[in-house]
Every structure is written in structure tokens, then in C-alpha cells.
Amino acid sequence: MKLLQTCTFLLALLVFVSPVFADEHPVEETPPPTKKYVEFTLNGTYADTKTVSTFGTSSTKTLRGLFKKLDILKTDDEIAGVIFKIEGVSLGWATLQEIRTQLSEFQDVGKETIGYLESGGNAEYLLAATMDRIVLMPTGSLNLTGLRAEVLFYKGLLDKLDIKADMLAMGKYKSGVEPYMRDGMSDAFRESMTALLDDLYAQSLNHLAESRDSITPESASDLINRGPFTAEEAKQEKLVDALQYYDELIAELKSASDDEEVQVVKPSFERKRKVPDMNSFAGLMQLFSMLNPPQRAQAAGKNQIALIYASGPILPDIDSPFISMSAITPKGLKKAFEKARADDAVRSVVLRIDSPGGSALASDLIWREVMLTQREKPVVVSMGNVAASGGYYIAMAAGTIVAHPSTLTGSIGVFGGKLNLKGLYNKAGLTKEIISHGQNATLYSDYGGFTPTERERVEKMMRTVYEDFVSKAATGRAKSFDEIDEIAQGRVWTGKQAKELGLVDELGGLDTALSIAKKQAGFAEDDKVNLIVLPKQRPFFEQFLEQMIEDTEGSIQLGGWKIGRMEGWGFQPSILPAFHSVLGAHWQHVVTWLTLFGFKDGTQIVTILPYDILIR
């Protein structure tokens, strides 16, 4: 009996105690799977290269930098999707197309993409349209208003200042002189601009149609004619998929599934840098370090492709590092091409051009370097937003030319002349007396127009440059002089039109050009290739020291500082940046104009576009 009681007690004790032990070793619950979205902002301008200023390279966002970040997002297996916040975009047409191509590749790797707009214009919407879903803020608007071309004419201002532009042009459509000599477009200029706009408009309609299932090219035209749209109208027209504030979008994503934990995070490569304390010497040094980041080591190895950037107007070699804008000079590109030719590890070269042109003489010097390199190694040109006039000149010696459908190119023609400032001098109470020997001694004087014999000589020089331009283009394109002359005449073409005319070989972006260069270099498709970028961008102080060492003659030395002066105008490049804030978007045009027409060495013959085309 006692034994039975003992067993019963032990059994009861076991029943009561066992839950305690069970609580000490609970069954582990499996956490729900995580679905990660990355928030990425697309805004502002993306350029081919950073602008070098006095203190270093600027914080300009580069196209290759953007593409590297997008590649990281595409290949990260932990990322399920990307929310692109698109705002304040200002891009050239070709840059827009190149970014659209990169964004569309997210669908190929199975990652969801969402475009979020607070409001948007043409550029913002065309980027968002590549994505799986477009979300617009409820109080926002969609400003699809079509395209327009605006050309600023300066003749009225010059008349008020009593300045006369004495200029000539070679080519029926070479319109670079018109803003300075006319109040409006000539018939030829209007014809050329209308044809450009027609092609770009057709391309934009096709982009809309291919991006949105509910839109055809015909309905796209009707939509644009009825724009801009309120948020509700955009939703009704199926231009956007949802109207939500950003926090509502995030809340919807997080509540979409009970089986997954949704996270919205910043990209791993976006780390905020602490603003240095400007009240301390250490803070100033930190700021200087941020403005002058250490240069990354160039890729080493035997399998190399050189990527040479040519961005900005084409200017003569200027002995001053003070001009803070992107520019192409013969000296800079000559060093880059010489390095590419001398280095046996470099098997091919890609020349990336984004330039409206400039000095005819400087363009020819660069053309020579391209031609010499093409004789030894394949050279492939990649055209950006614009590679026209002098920009096409430096491209035409390459073995292969690649352009975007919307690249502005061609414009094979020249113009030149000078500004007669006599009236302006007299208004200011200044007069000049000129004593000359030689019938054409006053050709480059700013105190009068061309005499009949001077005009005859300028026209002869310009025709020689034009015929040389056409001949070199004919040789590079394997066509006759007459065939190129017919499509030259200063006419600007889109890349799509240029491909049909034989001025370019392929349509595509920088990736397309690099792929062609890799193939022409003899690499297999799966071979690893190292890319070296030339020329190296250097901050002001490094350039300044190099100039002091290389060039100590021909300029006034004041306490070790060299003062550059543009003959004929008498202004100093070192003071030009002060006008940047006043001149705004026209800054580069003004500096380019003054640089090209401020020399007395024959650089008055130029090959340049008088306008830019941006999409907004």
C-alpha cells in the first residue's frame, strides 16, 4: 500500500513539473522570410565626366557611376525590388535613352521596379515608364506637353551695343552665325530644326508605346496633345497605376503579405558623409580631402581597353587651368591617345564623345590622333547626347561609330568671322587709330569689319576647311566626296537618321561600343577585360604645378603666378568663373564663344552647334 502511494505521488509530481521543463526548451519558431526593397533616387544631371574646378573634381554625378550602382542592385540576390524616386531630371536625349535601357534590364533579372513621382515632366515620365508600376502623388501632376525648340538670337542686343557680327558660313544649313546676324531663323535653319524635332518626337511616342501596354504611338500623340494632366486625370488615362503618398506606398508594400516581412532600405553604397566643421583647421583639411579624393589605381593586366572621354566644347590649348568647365583640348587628348598607342596591354580604344564642336584647328589635331591610333589598334566611337560639327570631325577617323537614335550628329560644315566692336568703343568714348602695312593687316582687328580682300581670303580659308572636312568624312565612311557633300552642308541629323545615311555604323550606347571594341580586340565573349579611363582628371593645383614646370616662357610672371590673356579681347580666363552665377545655363556658350573668337591665330574658323537640346 505504501509502495502504491509513493508511485502515485511521483506520477503526480511528474505531471506538474513537466510543463516547467517544457517551457525551458520551447520549440523554435521559423521567422518569416524577408522581402527587401531598396529606395533609389534618380535626379539632376548625369554627365560623362566630373567637372574639374579650382579645388578638385566636383560632385557631378556620372553616367558610368550610375550604371555601376544599378548593376549592384541588379545582381544583389537579397533585393526583391527597387523603388525609384524620380525628381528634377535634366538630361540630354541620348543620356535619357541610355538610362532607360539600363532600367529596363531589371525586368530581365526578375526584380520588381516601382517609379514614384511627386510630379513629373517628359524626362521623369519616360524613365518611370520603363518600370513595372508607376505611382504618382495624389496632388501631383504629369506634365506631358510635347517637345519644343528654342533658339536665342543676339542680334538685337548687339545692335543696342553697336556691335556688328561680320561672319560667313559654309554649308546651306550651317546656322551657327544666325543668332548673331539675324532676328530669327532662316528657312534652311527652320527646316533643319523641324526635321530634328519631328524625329525626336516620333522616338518619344514610340518610347511611351513600348513602355505602357495601354498606349499606342497614335494614342500617345493624342495624350500629349491633351496634357498636362492632374493626378486623377493621369490615373484615368492609365498613365500611372496608383495615386499614393510615399508613406502610403511603403505601408501597402509592408502589408501586402502576411507570410513575408517587407523591408525598405537605402542602398548599401549610399552612406551619408558628415559635414566637416568649417570653424576648425581640421574641418577645412577634411573638406579639401573630400574635394580631392584619392585616385583609384588603374586596372592592371594584359587585357585592356582604353576608354577616352571627350566632353565639352573643343577649344585650342589654353595655358590656364582657371576655366572651371569641361572642355576638349588637343594637348589633353594627344597624351591620352599616345598612352593608348604605346601601351601594348591596350588592345582597343573607345572614344566617348559628347561635344557640339568648336575650333576647326583643334578638331583637326584631335582627328589626327584618332587616325594614328586607328592605324595601330581598333578605335570605336561612342556618341553621347551630341557629337556634331567638330564633335563629328574627331569621330570620323575611327573604324566604327556608335550613336544613340537621338544623338545630335553630322553638321559637317564650318563658319567663321569676327565681331566688329568699333561702335561699342565709340559709345564708351574710345577710339583707335590703326597704322598697317599689308593689304589684309586688319583682318583680325576688332575695330572694323572685313575689307573686300579680307572677306575673300576668309571665305577661301573657310572653303578649304569645309572641303577638307568633307574629304576626311568621305574617306572615313568609304564614300565619295559628292555623297558626303550632299548630306553635309552643315545639316544636323539624329543618330537614327545618321545610321540610315551611313554617317554612323551602329545604334546603341557606351555598352554597345565597349562590346564591339572587345570583339575587335580579339577577346572572347567570356574573357575578363580591364578598362582604363583616360585622360586622368586632375585638380587645379596639380595642373598649375605642371604648367609652371612645363611652360615658363611667353607669359608675364608676377610673383610666380602666370597671368593668361586672350589676345583681341583682353579678358583673363581667371576671372571668368565669377560670371557663372550671373550667366547660368548660357555660361558655357559664352566662354566657348569668347575663347574661340578671342585669338589671333586663325581659330575664327569653327565647327560648332549654336544650341543644345535637353529633355524636361
Q: Which pLDDT score is estimated for 550?
A: 44
pLDDT tens profile 527-555 = 888 999 988 765 544 444 444 444 444 33
- Residue range 112-138, pLDDT digits in tens: 999 999 999 999 999 999 999 999 999
- Please report how many Cα atoms fall inside a 13 Å half-sphere around the Cα of residue 500, on the Cβ side: 6
Please tell me the predicted confidence (pLDDT) of residue 548. Answer: 45
What pLDDT is attached to residue 61? Answer: 86
How are beta strands 408-410 and 492-494 bridged, if at all? antiparallel
Angle between helix 93-108 and 187-211 (nearest 10): 10
- List, as one string, the DSSP characters of 508-562: --HHHHHHHHHHHTT--TT---EEEEESPP--HHHHHHHHHHH--SSSEEETTEE
What is the predicted pLDDT for the residue at 87? 92
pTM here? 0.81
> What count of residues does the chain have?
616
Q: What is the spatial distance between Cα 433 and Cα 447, in angstroms, rounded to a whole number?
A: 9
The residue annotated as part of the active site, out of 389, 406, 411, 445, is 389
Confidence at residue 191, expressed as pLDDT on a 0 to 100 scale: 93
Is 363 assigned a catalytic role? no
Q: At the topology level of CATH, where does 296-431+438-536+574-615 sit?
A: 2-enoyl-CoA Hydratase; Chain A, domain 1 (3.90.226)
Phi, psi of 234 (to 5 degrees): -60, -35
DSSP letter (8 states) at residue 46 = E
CA 472/CA 468 separation, integer angstroms: 6
pLDDT at 347: 95
The residue type of 301 is G
Region of residue 332 (phi > 0: left; psi between -120 and 50: alpha; otherwise: beta)? alpha
Measured CA angle at 606 (ends 604, 610), to 5 deg: 115
Q: For the chain, which residues score pLDDT lower than 70?
A: 1-29, 31, 51-60, 270-301, 318-325, 537-604, 608-616
Q: Which residue has the cell 537614335?
A: 405
* 147 exposure class (CB count in 10 Å sphere: 0-12, 13-18, 19+): middle
List the one residue out of 409, 404, 407, 406 whose CA is nearest residue 508.
404
Same CATH fold, 296-431+438-536+574-615 and 34-145+227-265?
A: yes
pLDDT reported for residue 227: 85
Question: Cα–Cα distances in Å, from 314 out to 325, 357, 496?
Answer: 12, 5, 24
Q: Exposed/middle/buried for 202, CB within 10 Å: 0-12, 13-18, 19+?
A: middle
Q: Where are the domains of the chain?
A: 34-145+227-265, 296-431+438-536+574-615
Amino acid identity at 385: N
Closest by alpha carbon to 494, among 100, 92, 103? 92
User: Which residues, 6 or more positions from 268, have their beta carbon under 8 angstroms from its beta carbon?
Assistant: 72
CATH placement of domain 34-145+227-265: 3.90.226.10
